[in-house]
Amino acid sequence: MELAAAIDDFEVYLKAERGFSPNTVRAYHSDLRALRLFLERRGAGGDAPTLDALTLDALRDWLWEATRAGLSRATIARRAAAARSLSAWLARTGMLGTDPGARLTSPKTAQPLPRVISRAQIEGILAGLAARAADGDPVALRDLAIIELLYASAVRVSELVGLDRDDVDLDRLTVRVLGKGSKERVVPFGVPARSAIVDYLDRGRMPLLLRSGDRGGSPDPAPDPDPAPQPSADARRALLIGSRGTRLGTRSVYRLVAGLLEELPGSGPAGPHSLRHTAATHLLDGGADLRSVQELLGHASLGTTQIYTHVSAERLKQSYHLAHPRA
């Protein structure tokens, strides 16, 4: 069997049986395509590689070539993980007699501490957004709801833009999100986020939705000779609407958050994940237990959540050195 066909079948398995997100499947596709192209160059005659070409030595050579090409340790570790997953699946399904990736190791990657925004900085951002939304501008109302909900619930940006109106329970102050691996969870949010969402739903959402061309169902029975396009069914369900009357996309949220954070001091990524990191760290600073934060964030492993304890410890050390007379 050709390796290319096996990789295609593996991607179907990841989508249908493992429930991996499209972004995760694309990452696997990119890494395994690089592996296939390497094996094509490595083989004699330029024939398409078969599963027999997938050996431990070949996998090690592939990672070594990536190292010599200057790829980061994180990228090499990700490639190794993709190769191990593929070879394990091939062995489990009987397409390979043994698992060549079982002994494939990858470099340990340094886990940088995530960027965390101070409480004062968050308050300043939200105050500025509230001032912009005071005159009822639909985009400003939506942007305030976005930042309030991101910080209050610590959801991922993909989870945020995937929300439908019915996913938000304004009475119980909870939101139902579909996370990685199609795992559903319910997370709480606070009163300020509720106020921002209600204000957006009352004054901002419909004007944005009408930008798609929907005229709101005019009572005039006369036929329109040039009817405007109606909002899609997906847009009608969506909580957050973009400037063109369709469901808001992740890039729009990235641009919004990056613009708000670009003037703030500090290093590290300036995207929506910074607000997720910040919310988790502030929860731990405030006394929340690690297991509760894990459930809020939707982490499968507690070890993933533990990085925020290191952030809190770093903040504690900084405060100690600034405040203690004998620090």
How far separated are the first and last CA of the chain, in Å rounded?
65
Cβ atoms of residues 240 and 146 within 8 Å: yes
* 69 pLDDT above the threshold of 50: yes
pLDDT at 315: 54
Q: Say which CATH number the domain at 33 has.
A: 1.10.150
Active site residues: 156, 180, 273, 276, 299, 308
pLDDT at 223: 47
User: How sure is the predictor about 129, in pLDDT bands with cuts at 50, 70 and 90?
Assistant: very high
Residue 174: inside a domain: yes
Q: Say which CATH number the domain at 265 has.
A: 1.10.443.10
| pLDDT (average), residues 161-185 | 88
User: How sure is the predictor about 10, in pLDDT bands with cuts at 50, 70 and 90?
Assistant: very high
| pLDDT (average), residues 206-219 | 66
Residue 43: inside a domain: yes
Q: Are residues 183 and 51 in the same domain?
A: no
From 233, 232, 239, 249, select the one nearest 164 (Cα to Cα).
Answer: 239
pLDDT at 215: 42
User: How sure is the predictor about 154, in pLDDT bands with cuts at 50, 70 and 90?
Assistant: confident
Mean pLDDT score of the chain: 83
* 327 pLDDT above the threshold of 50: no
1 or 61: which leads in pLDDT: 61
User: How sure is the predictor about 310, in pLDDT bands with cuts at 50, 70 and 90?
Assistant: low
pLDDT at 221: 41
Q: Are residues 148 and 288 in the same domain?
A: yes
Residue 110: inside a domain: no
Q: Kindly report the number of other CB atoms within 10 A of residue 273's CB atom.
A: 18
Q: Reduce the DSSP state of residue 135 to 3 states and report it.
A: coil
Q: Are residues 202 and 248 in the same domain?
A: yes
* 224 pLDDT above the threshold of 50: no
Residue 113: inside a domain: no
318 or 119: which leads in pLDDT: 119
Question: Which of 165-169, 174-178, 185-189, 298-302 is most confident?
Answer: 165-169
Within 106-215, strands assigned E span 168-169, 174-178, 184-188
Residue in the structure block whose two tokens are 């061309």: 213
- Domain span at residue 166 reads 119-216+228-321
Q: Are residues 53 and 147 in the same domain?
A: no
* 43 pLDDT above the threshold of 80: no
Q: Are residues 208 and 61 in the same domain?
A: no
Residue 239: inside a domain: yes
Q: For the segment 78-101, what is each residue's pLDDT rounded down to a tens digit?
A: 999 999 999 999 999 999 999 999
User: At residue 271, what is the residue type?
Assistant: G
Residue 105: inside a domain: no
Q: Are residues 124 and 261 in the same domain?
A: yes
Residue 279: inside a domain: yes
Q: Are residues 74 and 129 in the same domain?
A: no
Cβ partners under 8 Å of residue 31, min gap 6:
78, 79, 82, 83
Residue 327: inside a domain: no
**How many domains does the chain fold into?**
2
Residue in the structure block whose two tokens are 């395509």: 33
